[in-house]
Structure 1
C-alpha cells in the first residue's frame, strides 16, 4: 500500500487536505498514514444497531494505535421487524443494494486504503459484505453480536415467539408484558435469522475475525475484540490483503457447507451468490444441492432447536461447527490472518453438546437447507427441512392462490384456509413485489392457528430466518417473469417432496399451454423510486437477486 499517493499529496491535493484538516485531521496523518474508512450502520430505532457507536469508538482506537487514521461515516440501516406485516417490508431486499452502494460511494470518493464495516442485522450486514467484495480493498466487518433471550414467567422468549403470540389471540395485557421482556439487550434477535446467519457466516468467508462473529452484545470481550479489529485492519491494509486474495470458490463452498450444518436462514442463498458475483466467482443452487446430499444439520438453534445464538456462541460458535465438519470442507484455503483453515482448526477443541453435535450424531438426518426442483421451479426453490413438521415432509393439496402476504393472512384469519390446502403467494418475487417480499404474517398465522402441520405454502417471495413450517420460497422463474407459478389456478393440485427435492404442479401440459397463451403479466405494483429501479436492474433470485446488471455484459 502506498500512503503517499498523489490523491492526498502535492499541489493537486490541497483542496482534499483542506477538507480533512477542517474536520480535525493533522497534516502528517493525512499524508502518510493509511486512511481507514469505518462504515457505521448505527441507527437509534433498533436494538440491533443502537449500540454500534460504542464498538466504533473501540475500532477507531485500534486504528489510531496501529498507525492508521479512521474516517467514520454513516450507512442507512433499518430493522426488518419494524416493517413486519406491512407493505414496506419489500424494501428489505432492495436495501441490501442501497447499503452496498452507499459504502461504495464514500469509499471510492475518499479512496480509503482499508475499510471496516460495523453491522448486525439482516440485509444491512449482507449489504456491507456486498460492498466489501465489490470494493476489493483490505476490509473486515465487526458484528454487533446477538442479544440475550428475554425471560417471561421463567421461560426464555425471543421476538419470533412474540410475532406468533400477536396472532394467537393473546390478551392485550399479556402482549404488553411480552413487549417489555422480549428484547432485553442490544444485538440481533438471538435465533438463526438472517442477521445471525450472516454474522457467523462472515467468519467463514473471511470478512469477520474468527471467533468473534457471534460474541454477544452483552459480553465486554466484544469491546476488546473491536479494538483488536481496528489494529488488524491496519495490518491487513499494509499487507494489501484483499477479498480477492482471501475468498476463493472453495471458501464460498465452505460457507455453503456451514449453512447446511447450521440450518442457516434461507436468505443466505441469495447473499452468497450475490457476493460471489461481485468477485467473479460462479456459485449456483446446484452447489447448495451438492452439500445438501452430504451434510446433516448439527446445530439446534431456534427455530431448528430450543437454543439461542448466545447459547451457540458459548458452546463453541462457528469455529466448533467448522471443526465438526472439517472432513467435508476445504481446509487449504486462507483465513484472514494468513493461516489456512487447517492450521486454524488445529487449535480448536470441539466438544459435542445438545447445541452443536458431531456429524456422526447429528441433530437431524436432513440438511439445514434443501433445493427443490420440478415443473413449478425448474431453476430451483428453497426450503429449510429442519423447520418442516414430520407430517409435511411430503405434501400434496389444493392450491389457494394470493398475490400478497397480507391477502393470504386475511384468508387465514377468516377461516378460509383448511387442512390440506397449499397456499400460493405469487407476484412477490424480485420483480413482482418489487423487492422480493419477506413473508411473515402468513407463516406466523399458520402457526398461531395450528395449521403449520397440515397446510403448505409456496411462493416466489422469501422468508425470514425466524420462520418455520412447510414453506417453500424463492420459486424461480418468478410469476412476474412468466414462471409456472403465475399459471396456477384455485384448486390445482401441488405436490412437494422436501426429502427427494421436488416441487410440481399436477396439471396436464396441454392445459398449462392453454393458460400460458392467455397469461398477461400484471402491471408493476410500484412504478417510481427505489423499488422501480430495483425491479429493472436486479438479478433473478437464483442468481442472488442483487442489482448487478453488468453481469449480462460480462457474459455476452
Structure 2
C-alpha cells in the first residue's frame, strides 16, 4: 500500500501529530491511527429536511460495518444536503455551494477514501463534483427509489402524477378534494422519486460513469439488498485506497459518453446534461452539448418508465434492473472505462435476463427508436437548448406557432389562466428570466402549466420554451436551458409575443422569425429586467456574479478544473 494521505496528520512524534491523534482517540482501537488503516469518510447527505435522504444514516451504518470488516476506520461526515421539494427558490442554487463545501471538507480532513451517500436530485451531482475536484478514492452509494404508492387502486408516479393530477384538477376533470386525497398516497416510504426522474437518472449516471458497484443503481431504498450492497461498498473503498484508484482514473471522457448512452437508454432526465457537464468540468474534461447529441443519437429507449412510459422504478428492479436494460445495448458502450472495482464497465454487462418485457422492452421493439436528449440551436438558442423527445408529444416535435411571452415566473402565474390571454393550442409559451443568473439557480419551472381555458378544451400539451429547467419527473414538449439565458443578453430576452417560432427537433432547429437588424434594434422589456435577480450579499451574490451558462454546466467560473487533495497551509 502507498503511504496513506492521513499520515500527514497522524504520523510522527511531534506536537502536531500528537494533537491530531489524541483528539481522535475517543474509543478507537489502539491501531486505528497507526498509519496502516485507511481513514474513510462517509459523506452523508441525510437530513430530516431532505425527505428522500432521511434513511441514509441507516445506510451509513452498513457502510461503516463494511469499512471495519476490510480493515479501514470509518467516520460519518455530514455534508450539505439539498431537498428538491423543500428549499426555495430552487435546490439548484446551492448545488455548487454544496460541492464547494464538500470539496473543502474532503481536502481539509485526514481522509484516505470517500463513500458518497446521495439520493435526492442535487446530492449525487454535488458529491461527484466535490470528489472529482479533490480526486481521492471515492465510490457512490445511491439511496434508491421509494416503493410505489397507490390511489384509488392505481399506481402513482411521484412527481409525474403530481403534474398530471394538478392539471386534471385545474381542468375540472377531478375535484380539488380528490387531488388533495392523493397526497396521502403519493409517498409510500423511504427513498427518492419512483419515476425515472433526476434522482433515478443520477444514480444511473453514477453507475455508468463507473462510480458505483455494478448493479447498485435502482435498488429500492426499502430493499434489504441496498444495505448489503452498502456493506460491500464499505469493503470496496478500503481496496480502492490500497490500489490508489481515483475518480480521475474512472471518470474519463469515454466514461461520460457511456453515461450519456445510459441516460438515453432509460429515458433519463434532461437535468443529467447540466450535471454531467459540471462534473466533467471539475475533471478538466472537454465535454460539450455536441457530445450529448452525438453519443445519444440512435440509442433506443428500452425502459418503459414514467415520465416517458408507463411503469415505475420498483417495476424496473423486479424486471431485471438497470443492467438488464444496458446489456441490450452493450455494443454501444466504450469498452475502456473502468468502474470502482478496477474492471471495465462493459464487463458488468454480461447476460442479464429480462423478467418482464413490458417494463424492459426488447431492443428491436423499444419505447422509441432514437430518443436521446436532443440539442437544438438557432437564432433563439445560439449556444443550445435541450429537449427530451421521449417525454414529448410526437406531433409537436415539428411545430410552427406564435409566441406568447412571459417576462418572469410571476408574470406567467398572474396571466396563464386569464380568460383574456390570447393563446391557442398552436401558440408557443415562452418564459424568460429563469436561467442560472436571472432567477437565480435555473428553477424547475420550464414545464409551465397550460392555460386553463385550453385545458378545459381538452388540450394536454403545448410547445414550451424557457431558460429554466424542469423536473426529471415532468413531461411534455418542453424546450429547456436555452443558452445564453435572457439575463445574460441571450436572444430569449428580445422575443416578443406574436413572433413566429419554429421548432424542428429532427433537424435540431429552434428559431424565431426576426431579422438580425430587427433583433439588434430591440431592447429588453422593463418588466423582464426588473425581475432579474440582483442579490446584494451572501451566496446568492457569489452565485450570480460567477455562475456560467447552462451549456457549460452552470458551475462557478473559479471552480472549473481539479484542484487536488493537497492542503496548502499547515496549522498548530
TM over 0.5: yes
Q: TM-score, normalised by structure 1?
A: 0.93
Cα distance in 2, alignment partners of residues 494 and 440 from structure 1: 17
Structure having the higher helix fraction is 1
Counterpart in the other structure of 2:247: 243
Alpha-carbon shift at residue 102 of structure 1 (Å): 2.4
What residue is the counterpart of 1:74 in the other structure?
78
Q: CA deviation at 1:503?
A: 0.4
Q: Which of the numbers 424, 435, 438 marks the counterpart of 2:441?
A: 435
The answer as to whether partners of 1:38 and 1:118 remain within 8 angstroms in 2 is yes
Q: Note closer, same or farther for the CA distance 1:504–1:453 as it changes in structure 2 (3 Å cut).
A: farther
* Partners of 2:447 and 2:478 within 8 A in 1: no
| In structure 1, C-alpha distance between the alignment counterparts of 2:307 and 2:80, rounded to whole Å | 29
Give the aligned partner of residue 495 of structure 1.
502
Closer, same or farther: CA 175–453 of 1 in aligned 2, 3 Å: closer
> Aligned pair in 2 of structure 1 residues 457, 290: CA closer, same or farther (>3 Å)?
same
Query: Matched residue pairs, number?
Result: 548
3-state SS of the aligned residue for 1:495? strand
Give distance in 1, aligned partners of 2:353 and 2:338: 20
Task: For 2:562 and 2:44, locate their aligned partners in 1 and report how far apart those are by CA, in whole Å.
Answer: 33
Residues 319, 345 of structure 1: 8 Å contact kept: yes
Q: 1:31 aligns with which of 31, 34, 39?
A: 34
1:79: Cα distance to partner? Answer: 2.2
Tell me the equivalent position of 2:9: 7
1:49 touches 1:187 (CA, 8 Å); kept in 2? Answer: yes
What is the distance in 2 between the residues matched to 1:552 and 1:344? 30
Does the residue aligned with 1:283 lie in a helix, a strand or coil? Answer: coil
1:420: which partner in 2? 426
Q: Which of these residues, 526, 531, 555, is aligned with residue 534 of structure 2?
A: 526
* 8 Å Cα contact 1:95/1:124 also seen in 2: no
Indicate if the aligned counterparts of 2:397 and 2:506 stay in contact, CA closer than 8 A. Answer: yes
Alignment of 1:402 with 2:403, yes or no, is no
Q: TM-score, normalised by structure 2?
A: 0.90
1: CA distance, partners of 2:156 / 2:354: 28
Contact 1:186 1:217 survives alignment (8 Å): yes
Kept in 2, the 8 Å contact 1:259–1:368? The answer is yes
Deviates more, 1:374-383 or 1:170-179: 170-179
- Identify the residue that residue 104 of structure 2 maps to in structure 1: 105
Q: Report what 2:232 is aligned to.
A: 228
Going from structure 1 to structure 2, the CA distance change for 1:2 and 1:316 (only over 3 Å counts) comes to same
Please say if residues 139 and 233 of structure 1, whose CA atoms lie closer than 8 Å, have aligned partners that are also in contact: yes
CA RMSD of aligned residues (A): 2.4
Distance 1:70 1:545 in 2: 33
CA shift for structure 1 position 324:
1.1
Instruction: Give the structure 2 partner of residue 132 of structure 1.
Output: 131
SS of the residue aligned with 2:276?
A: helix
Listed as ranges, the matches of 1:175-186 within 5 Å are 175-186=179-190
Q: Is the 8 Å Cα contact of residues 293 and 372 (structure 2) preserved in structure 1?
A: no
5+ residue gaps, structure 2? 564-572
Question: SS of the counterpart of 1:6?
Answer: helix
* CA 1:299–1:18: 2 relative to 1, 3 Å: same
1:63-89 deviations in whole A, cap 9, x for unaligned?
111111111121222322235xxxx23
Cα offset, 1:19, TM superposition:
2.1
* SS in structure 1 of the partner of residue 25 of structure 2: helix
Q: Would you say the 8 A contact 1:140–1:208 is kept in 2?
A: yes
* 1:166 alignment partner in structure 2: 166
1:80-99 matches, within 5 Å, as 80-83=84-87, 88-90=88-90, 92-99=91-98
Question: Of 284, 290, 293, which aligns to 1:286?
Answer: 290
Task: Go from structure 1 to structure 2 and tell me whether the alpha carbon gap of 1:318 and 1:448 turns closer, same or farther (over 3 Å shift).
Answer: farther
The alpha-carbon deviation at position 200 of structure 1 amounts to: 1.6
Q: CA 1:275–1:441 in structure 2 vs 1: closer, same or farther (change >3 Å)? A: closer
Paired with 1:441 and 1:400, the residues of 2 have a C-alpha distance of: 15
Match of 2:485 among 453, 470, 478: 478
Alpha-carbon deviation of 1:551?
4.1
Alignment partner, residue 218 of structure 1 = 222
Structure 2 contact 157–306 (Cα < 8 Å) conserved: no
Secondary structure of 2:202's partner? helix
Distance 1:135 1:449 in 2: 54
The separation in 1 between residues aligned to 2:347 and 2:229, in whole angstroms, is 21
What residue ranges of structure 1 are gaps of 5+ in the alignment?
none
